[in-house]
Amino acid sequence: MDFDHDVIVIGGGPAGSTFARYAAAEGMDVLVVDKRKEIGVPVRCGEGLGESEIITGEVDLPGRCFSTNVRGARIYAPNGKSLTWKTDGTQGWVLERKIFDKWLCELAVEKGARVKVYTRATGLLKENGSINGVMLSESGKGEYPARAPLVVSAEGMESMIAREAGFNTVHRLQDVGTCYQYEMKPIEHENLIELYFGKQVAPRGYVWIFPKAGRKANVGVGIGGHLTDWKKRSGIDGAAPKEVLDRFIEKRKGFSDANILTEFGGVISVGAPMKEFVTDNFMVIGTAAKQVDPIHGGGIYLAMHAGRLAAGIAAKAHETKDYSKKTLYEYEKLWRESEGKTCEQRLKLQKALEKLDDEDLDYIIGAVTYKDLELAMSGKFAEPVAKIVAGRPRLLKVLGALR
Ligand SMILES: Cc1cc2nc3c(=O)[nH]c(=O)nc-3n(C[C@H](O)[C@H](O)[C@H](O)COP(=O)(O)OP(=O)(O)OC[C@H]3O[C@@H](n4cnc5c(N)ncnc54)[C@H](O)[C@@H]3O)c2cc1C
């Protein structure tokens, strides 16, 4: 069969662009399509990103891609007490995602990938039941078929094409966080990530303040998507995250005078990753595969990580012209052995955290150190749990499951 490309990637976000960069570097003819008119726009993200090898390993992150460096974090308990961790070095960044995403896409183009914006994948092409491309709808050109032996869904939350390919892309309400965010100025900050917990602040979630250069900050909230009886649970009015955010801002000194430069609402996946990521001639990567950290909803790093892993396996499939599920499964196996393990641990932690009330959180944030939190986030629960349970034995029932 005549193919137009070796692989068609649906979505030019961090997952799709990273896949395209590494697949094109291996000599594959890659087409990336994105339904947006401009890569990275509009931004729907807190823009926080921890330092990691995948970002800085091969190429330096250009200064234009981030607003500021992050120097640590401060976590607020429901009673207002806080735990601070500060360093002199860079622990991560608050990005300018519209520039960052475009930069990732440019890296793919530099390796030879082709990119079409304002072009939507509308359905799968199949012959004798086998996927062999997609239908594209391009502005000004109408609908036409584009053929490739491999299709990659990097579609983010929507993942309509992955659904058509047979994947369970539906999100249950309890597996999403509903969010609202303002970019605000002037906001005084110390280049720390600030997180606020408590049922009056954000039930099953938190408020974040991510610092930006020029006395700006992304101020946002995420709350459990299943909290439809939210008023009953929280004791305060307002079922929507925007109302929750407004309430937080109203109560915070210095914020009520700040201007809102950007605002948006969005939904983050915070459940388990999809049960399968591949089928014959088809791979799913990034948020489309629900590869998102269940604790904080961060998905940029995971999207890039999956993009790179999947591209390595796609290149092998290309070499042997074997795009079967069995061959592509190697990507899924590698993912589950690496980031999949971390996601599993984080999911366990999330389930335990959900059972804590405000008093428990007050106690825990007062009792632990930042090192304890880091241990817990990396899945090493024994030491922090022992410390907490020693001072508050009744938490053994909830946290014991983590040991
Ligand atoms: C409110 C909010 C705050 C967040 N904050 C953070 C944060 O601070 N840090 C962090 O790491 N993560 C954060 N995330 C998550 C992060 O934004 C995503 O996990 C990340 O963007 C995933 O990258 P991706 O490439 O998988 O998908 P996306 O970035 O969503 O890219 C998918 C692309 O596919 C395109 N597309 C979809 N369907 C089609 C189609 N049929 N045809 C053509 N194109 C299509 C879309 O236009 C889009 O450009 C946040 C998310 C939300 C909603």
Using only the alpha carbons of the chain, give its radius of gyration. Answer: 22
Q: Is residue 395 part of a domain?
A: yes
Q: Is residue 149 part of a domain?
A: yes
| 386 vs 334, more confident | 334
Q: Looking at the structure, do residues 237 and 254 belong to the same domain, yes or no?
A: yes
Q: Calculate mean pLDDT across residues 151-175.
A: 94
Phi-psi region of 30 (alpha: psi -120 to 50; beta: other; left: phi over 0): beta
Among candidate residues 32, 33, 28, 34, the one with its CA nearest the CA of residue 6: 28
Q: Is 141 exposed, middle or buried (0-12, 13-18, 19+ CB in 10 A)?
A: exposed
In this predicted structure, the answer to whether residue 228 has a pLDDT above a threshold of 90 is no
Q: Is 211 exposed, middle or buried (0-12, 13-18, 19+ CB in 10 A)?
A: buried
Q: Calculate mean pLDDT across residues 341-355.
A: 87
CA distance 239 to 250: 17
CA 184 to centroid of ligand 1, rounded, Å: 22
CA separation, residue 297 to residues 8, 78, 263, 293, 400 (Å): 27, 21, 18, 5, 24
Q: Looking at the structure, do residues 217 and 158 belong to the same domain, yes or no?
A: no
When the pLDDT of each residue in the chain is averaged and rounded to a whole number, the result is 91
Of 11-15, 129-133, 227-231, 264-268, the one with minimum mean pLDDT is 227-231
Q: Looking at the structure, do residues 144 and 245 belong to the same domain, yes or no?
A: no
Q: What residue's CA is closest to ligand 1, atom 50?
A: 45
CA 86 to centroid of ligand 1, rounded, Å: 29
**Tokens at 359, concatenated:** 């008093």
CA 289 to centroid of ligand 1, rounded, Å: 11
Q: Calculate mean pLDDT across residues 195-203.
A: 88
Q: Looking at the structure, do residues 242 and 377 belong to the same domain, yes or no?
A: no
Q: Looking at the structure, do residues 180 and 246 belong to the same domain, yes or no?
A: yes
| 400 vs 234, more confident | 400
- Above pLDDT 70, what percent of the chain? 96
Counting atoms of ligand 1 from 1, which one is nearest the CA of 287? 26
CA 258 to centroid of ligand 1, rounded, Å: 28
Residue finishing a domain among 217, 241, 269: 269
In this predicted structure, the answer to whether residue 90 has a pLDDT above a threshold of 60 is yes
**Tokens at 193, concatenated:** 């990530």
Among candidate residues 2, 316, 284, the one with its CA nearest the CA of residue 132: 2
Among candidate residues 159, 313, 178, the one with its CA nearest the CA of residue 242: 178
Q: Looking at the structure, do residues 39 and 102 belong to the same domain, yes or no?
A: yes
Whose structure tokens read 């009953």? 232
Cβ of 317 less than 6 Å from ligand 1: no
Q: Looking at the structure, do residues 166 and 176 belong to the same domain, yes or no?
A: no
CA distance 276 to 166: 10
Q: Which domain holds residue 188?
A: 70-89+172-269
Q: What residue's CA is closest to ligand 1, atom 35?
A: 11
| Torsions phi, psi for 121 (to 5 deg) | -80, 125
Q: Looking at the structure, do residues 35 and 140 belong to the same domain, yes or no?
A: yes
Query: How would you list the strands of the sheet with 278-279, edge to edge?
Result: 114-116, 30-33, 7-10, 150-153, 282-284, 278-279
At 171-193, the pLDDT tens digits run 888 888 889 999 999 999 999 99
| 139 vs 301, more confident | 301
**Tokens at 270, concatenated:** 């915070």
* Residue type for position 206: Y
Residue finishing a domain among 342, 372, 394: 342
Cβ of 120 less than 6 Å from ligand 1: yes
Half-sphere exposure of 29 toward its Cβ, with a 13 Å CA cutoff?
8
Helix axes 339-354, 300-320, angle to 10 degrees: 150
In this predicted structure, the answer to whether residue 96 has a pLDDT above a threshold of 90 is yes
The pLDDT, as a whole number, for residue 233 is: 55
CA distance 61 to 385: 37
Cβ of 124 less than 6 Å from ligand 1: no
| 228 vs 187, more confident | 187
The pLDDT, as a whole number, for residue 131 is: 98
CA 300 to centroid of ligand 1, rounded, Å: 8
Cβ of 177 less than 6 Å from ligand 1: no
Of 130-139, 281-290, 350-359, the one with minimum mean pLDDT is 350-359
Q: How confident is the model at residue 239 (pLDDT cuts 50, 70, 90)?
A: low
CATH number at residue 331: 3.50.50.60
Q: What pTM value is reported for the model?
A: 0.94
| Torsions phi, psi for 201 (to 5 deg) | -90, -55
Mutation choice for ligand 1 from 268, 290, 301, CB with most ligand atoms inside 8 A: 268
At 73-89, the pLDDT tens digits run 999 999 999 999 888 88
Q: Looking at the structure, do residues 188 and 240 belong to the same domain, yes or no?
A: yes
Cβ of 10 less than 6 Å from ligand 1: yes
In this predicted structure, the answer to whether residue 236 has a pLDDT above a threshold of 60 is no
In this predicted structure, the answer to whether residue 231 has a pLDDT above a threshold of 80 is no
Q: Is residue 1 part of a domain?
A: no
Q: Is residue 325 part of a domain?
A: yes
Q: Calculate mean pLDDT across residues 196-207.
A: 87
Q: Is residue 193 part of a domain?
A: yes
Helical (H) or strand (E) element with 248? helix 241-251
Cβ of 16 less than 6 Å from ligand 1: yes
Torsion from C-alpha of 197, 198, 202, 203, nearest 10 degrees: 120
Mutation choice for ligand 1 from 68, 287, 346, CB with most ligand atoms inside 8 A: 287
In this predicted structure, the answer to whether residue 230 has a pLDDT above a threshold of 80 is no
Cβ of 360 less than 6 Å from ligand 1: no
Q: Calculate mean pLDDT across residues 370-396.
A: 84
Q: What is the DSSP letter of 229?
A: T
What's the number of domains the chain is made of? Answer: 3
**Tokens at 313, concatenated:** 């396996």
In this predicted structure, the answer to whether residue 313 has a pLDDT above a threshold of 50 is yes
Q: Is residue 16 part of a domain?
A: yes
Q: What is the DSSP letter of 157?
A: T
Q: Looking at the structure, do residues 49 and 131 belong to the same domain, yes or no?
A: yes
Q: Looking at the structure, do residues 11 and 137 belong to the same domain, yes or no?
A: yes
CA 320 to centroid of ligand 1, rounded, Å: 32
Q: How confident is the model at residue 229 (pLDDT cuts 50, 70, 90)?
A: low
Q: Looking at the structure, do residues 163 and 178 belong to the same domain, yes or no?
A: no
Torsion from C-alpha of 196, 201, 202, 208, nearest 10 degrees: -30
CA 116 to centroid of ligand 1, rounded, Å: 17
CATH number at residue 195: 3.30.9.10
In this predicted structure, the answer to whether residue 250 has a pLDDT above a threshold of 70 is yes
CA distance 298 to 46: 9
Q: Is residue 139 part of a domain?
A: yes
Strand partners of residue 126: 131
Q: Is residue 2 part of a domain?
A: no
Q: What residue's CA is closest to ligand 1, atom 17?
A: 45
| Torsions phi, psi for 63 (to 5 deg) | -55, -30
| 370 vs 264, more confident | 264
Q: How confident is the model at residue 238 (pLDDT cuts 50, 70, 90)?
A: very low
Residue finishing a domain among 217, 242, 269: 269
